[in-house]
Chains A and B, each alone.
Chain A
Amino acid sequence: MDAVIPAADPARPVLEAPDIARVLTRIAHEIVERAKGAGDVVLLGIPTRGVFLAHRLAAKLEEITGARTPVGSLDITMYRDDLRLRPARALARTEIPGEGIDGKLVVLVDDVLFSGRTIRAALDALNDIGRPRAVQLAVLVDRGHRELPIRADYVGKNLPTSLRETVKVQLTEEDGRDSVLLGVRAAAPADGQ
């Protein structure tokens, strides 16, 4: 982790594929432990990369418990608080598992936890879909700088960052490789995600 940063490529990997696999296995075990068997867990990934992570977690949960865990996706675009700051955005897919979420333990899954605004939007979106027994949050990376009173229940890696730094998660399904890259923003920092 103290690798010398090559000048040509300022983005430095902080997690590689084996680390990500290990971290997801640990989170899966934590979910089973805290939910006492994960019997009523529903995993909802936040597009784009949260959905892939949710599917990977579901596979790990099945390895541990032997039972299938419902998994879906929750697009939060239309619940964002910064819609009017940018041109209208394309929507992603919301796919709620057939069992629904009423009375279930919903675990939201995202790649990076930053300002917390995405999660606030996700909680609003959930409110329109049903009434879970409880909602928890699993993230691959927590980079700090919260702007709302929100925290994660399961964290893959706590990564203290400055606002000048960028955190980029790459996953095989979308980017062809698994890694988490820490880079430095070239221009002035834009608003958080």
Chain B
Amino acid sequence: MKRHLISAADLSRDDAVLILDTAEEMARVADRPIKKLPTLRGRTVVNLFFEDSTRTRISFEAAAKRLSADVINFSAKGSSVSKGESLKDTALTLEAMGADAVVIRHHDSGAPHRLATSGWIGGSVVNAGDGTHEHPTQALLDAFTMRRRLVGPDAGIGRDLAGRRITIVGDILHSRVARSNVHLLNTLGAEVTLVAPPTLVPIGVETWPCEVSYDLDAVLPKSDAVMMLRVQRERMNAAFFPTEREYARRYGLDGDRMARMPEDAIVMHPGPMNRGMEITAEVADSDRCTAVEQVANGVSTRMAVLYLLLGGSEPAVAPQNNARTEENK
């Protein structure tokens, strides 16, 4: 693994499988009476959040604390950033405090990359979502959830998602979750189809390793997992579709549509959900919907990422000659 996790595209297939396997062991710690490991004692993890987030920040905080790291939460609101401090000066402050890892969420695409490559800080940088660019740990927890549900928690160890058909539905244009998922799922051997109104498909999508469709009903029967993205109302100022009702009718997932999916197929949602918009309550509350599971899996996956980046003298080296590599290719 590289020292930083900026993009899901930075991960090789072996790196990604190592993270998922490690997350599987971390998940078992959650079943113990003492949900804590001494592994990162004395390490400091800074959560640097320039943009609002509850679940991602809490998830990273829980992950770092379960590994006994010291956690410093830094949110732009109520900090020197609101007085005009630059990213560079903030970074130098964190470096002076001895941060071993900086988990950064920023409204500008590329901010984590700048932080990692500028030489301002010596620790690892983990991208927790930057603008409309990437959100690699979300993609990892999604892949982890898919592997657990579609392959099995024990059967999945060492395996990737070869041949699984994943459909991502909704606002692809603004979605960093979709970008990271397309990269990671492609690395793991899955076949990805994006479904969205033409106005919400980004320019240049033809260079992505995936298919694009405008017709949800045609794709659903051929999907092992359907990932519904949130309609980001705060970014819908440019009238990307006529009305919310029309969007829900054409691209929303309701009980009838779910019934047309293969029997074992799952419904995923990164949260927060707009019930009645991209997903109906009936679907959101069914046992095929993994939204709540994804939150729990997020902690395990982030524990795995922090452990593999900080748990040694340098980041983990994925085993190169994985015996199962060939059969899964």
Choose among B36, B38, B313, B317 the residue that contacts A85 (Cβ–Cβ < 8 A): B313
Q: Decide if A130 is an interface residue (CB 8 Å cutoff).
A: yes
Q: How far is the CA of A125 from the CA of B25 in the complex (A)?
A: 14
Residue interface bits B54-91, CB-to-A below 8 A is 1, else 0: 00000000000000000000000000000000000000
* Residues in chain A near residue B36, CB distance under 8 A: 128
Residues of A within 8 A of B (CB-CB), count: 19
B302 to chain A, nearest CB (A): 15
When the two chains form their complex, are residues A78 and B34 in contact, meaning their CB atoms are under 8 A apart?
Answer: no
Q: Decide if A124 is an interface residue (CB 8 Å cutoff).
A: yes
* Residues in chain B near residue A87, CB distance under 8 A: 312-317
When the two chains form their complex, are residues B37 and A89 in contact, meaning their CB atoms are under 8 A apart?
Answer: no
When the two chains form their complex, are residues B25 and A86 in contact, meaning their CB atoms are under 8 A apart?
Answer: no
When the two chains form their complex, are residues A88 and B311 in contact, meaning their CB atoms are under 8 A apart?
Answer: yes
State which residues 172-193 of A face B: CB under 8 Å.
none
Identify the closest chain B residue to A128 (Cβ): B34
* Residues in chain B near residue A84, CB distance under 8 A: 312-313
* Residues in chain B near residue A90, CB distance under 8 A: 18, 21-22, 316, 319
* Residues in chain B near residue A150, CB distance under 8 A: none
Residue interface bits A125-144, CB-to-B below 8 A is 1, else 0: 00011100000000000000
Identify the closest chain A residue to B32 (Cβ): A129
Q: Decide if B201 is an interface residue (CB 8 Å cutoff).
A: no
Identify the closest chain A residue to B36 (Cβ): A128
B70 to chain A, nearest CB (A): 16
Interface residues on B, range: 20 to 34
Residues of B contacting A: mostly: loop
When the two chains form their complex, are residues A88 and B37 in contact, meaning their CB atoms are under 8 A apart?
Answer: no
Q: Decide if B204 is an interface residue (CB 8 Å cutoff).
A: no
Q: Decide if B33 is an interface residue (CB 8 Å cutoff).
A: yes
Q: How far is the CA of A89 from the CA of B25 in the complex (A)?
A: 13
A60 to chain B, nearest CB (A): 26
When the two chains form their complex, are residues B309 and A93 in contact, meaning their CB atoms are under 8 A apart?
Answer: no
Q: Decide if A91 is an interface residue (CB 8 Å cutoff).
A: yes
State which residues 77-102 of A face B: CB under 8 Å.
78-79, 83-94
Identify the closest chain A residue to B22 (Cβ): A91
Q: Decide if B310 is an interface residue (CB 8 Å cutoff).
A: yes
State which residues 220-277 of B face A: CB under 8 Å.
none
State which residues 33-49 of A face B: CB under 8 Å.
none
When the two chains form their complex, are residues B25 and A88 in contact, meaning their CB atoms are under 8 A apart?
Answer: no
- In the complex, the 10 A-B pairs of residues with the closest C-beta atoms, listed nearest first: A88-B312, A88-B316, A88-B311, A78-B39, A91-B25, A128-B34, A87-B312, A87-B314, A78-B37, A88-B308
A-B contact pairs, 7 of them (CB 8 A): A79-B38, A88-B307, A88-B310, A90-B21, A93-B25, A124-B38, A129-B32
